Chain A
Amino acid sequence: DVKVTQSSRYLVKRTGEKVFLECVQDMDHENMFWYRQDPGLGLRLIYFSYDVKMKEKGDIPEGYSVSREKKERFSLILESASTNQTSMYLCATRNGGGGQPQHFGDGTRLSIL
């Protein structure tokens, strides 16, 4: 069975902190995605990666960076957290091309105080 694990379900950080959100998958999928989900706005793509050390910006990359040093792990980094980055963050993976479904983690609800 497909398993996408996000390191924290809930996280509280302070403005200006560097924040790391981790996502680990056990399916050997090439593609990994980071989304944020906000009320009324739906899911929006922050970054995605289609291979180790490869990344592409999504719709809202400002204020974020990512790291994919190993195939199974995709990290989202908030370089200097701000209150407008308070949100639900969801990681997803996909095997192969766009004709396959995405598999989501349970999400991390991040609050920046």
Chain B
Amino acid sequence: KNEVEQSPQNLTAQEGEFITINCSYSVGISALHWLQQHPGGGIVSLFMLSSGKKKHGRLIATINIQEKHSSLHITASHPRDSAVYICAVRPWGTRNAGNMLTFGGGTRLMVKP
């Protein structure tokens, strides 16, 4: 079993819909990242969080440390949100001051106009 599991693997939505992507992990962590990868490959860091909730524009990320679960929400989705969304965790006890991240397999989102 992977240490970081994302669901769903694929998601198709209509423009304007509220979208939720989930991430569950099985290890103790010091931080969780949400990343966005557009077609073509480039990856952008969206959020890094260790507790609670963060908001940036139409994107909201939440984390529940006790339940080892995080969600990424997109409000009023738009076709330009179409991308792969990747969850990554930084486990406790990582060597070399926490360099290592463990990545989920990604959620491929397509938003149709």
Whether a CB of chain A sits under 8 angstroms from the CB of B57 is: no
Docked complex: A1-27 residues within 8 A CB-CB of B? 9
* Closest chain A residue, CB of each to CB of B99: A48
Docked complex: B4-29 residues within 8 A CB-CB of A? 4
Enumerate chain A residues within 8 angstroms of B48, measured Cβ to Cβ. Answer: 99, 101
In the complex, are the beta carbons of B40 and A106 less than 8 A apart?
yes
* Closest chain B residue, CB of each to CB of A50: B96
In the complex, are the beta carbons of A56 and B96 less than 8 A apart?
yes
Task: Write the nearest CB–CB distance from B7 to chain A, whole angstroms.
Answer: 14
* Given A40-B105, A41-B105, A43-B86, A98 and B99 contact (CB-CB distance below 8 Å): yes
* Closest chain A residue, CB of each to CB of B87: A42
In the complex, are the beta carbons of A98 and B104 less than 8 A apart?
no
User: Which of the residues B45, B98, B105 comes within 8 Å of A42, measured between beta carbons?
Assistant: B105
User: Which of the residues A40, A42, A99 comes within 8 Å of B31, measured between beta carbons?
Assistant: A99
Interface on chain A toward B: helix, strand, loop, or mixed SS? strand
Enumerate chain A residues within 8 angstroms of B59, measured Cβ to Cβ. Answer: none
Can you list 24 contacts pairing A with B, beta carbon distance less than 8 Å?
A40-B105, A41-B105, A42-B2, A42-B104, A42-B106, A43-B86, A43-B101, A44-B103, A48-B99, A50-B96, A94-B99, A97-B97, A98-B30, A98-B31, A99-B48, A99-B98, A101-B45, A102-B33, A104-B35, A105-B42, A106-B41, A106-B42, A107-B40, A107-B41
| Chain A interface (Cβ < 8 Å from any Cβ of B) | 9, 31, 33, 40-45, 48, 50, 56, 58, 88, 90, 92, 94, 97-99, 101-107, 109
A-B contact sample (20 more), CB < 8 A, given A31-B99, A33-B99, A104-B35: A40-B105, A41-B105, A42-B4, A42-B105, A44-B103, A45-B100, A48-B100, A50-B96, A50-B99, A56-B96, A58-B100, A90-B43, A92-B43, A94-B99, A97-B97, A97-B98, A98-B90, A98-B94, A104-B44, A104-B45
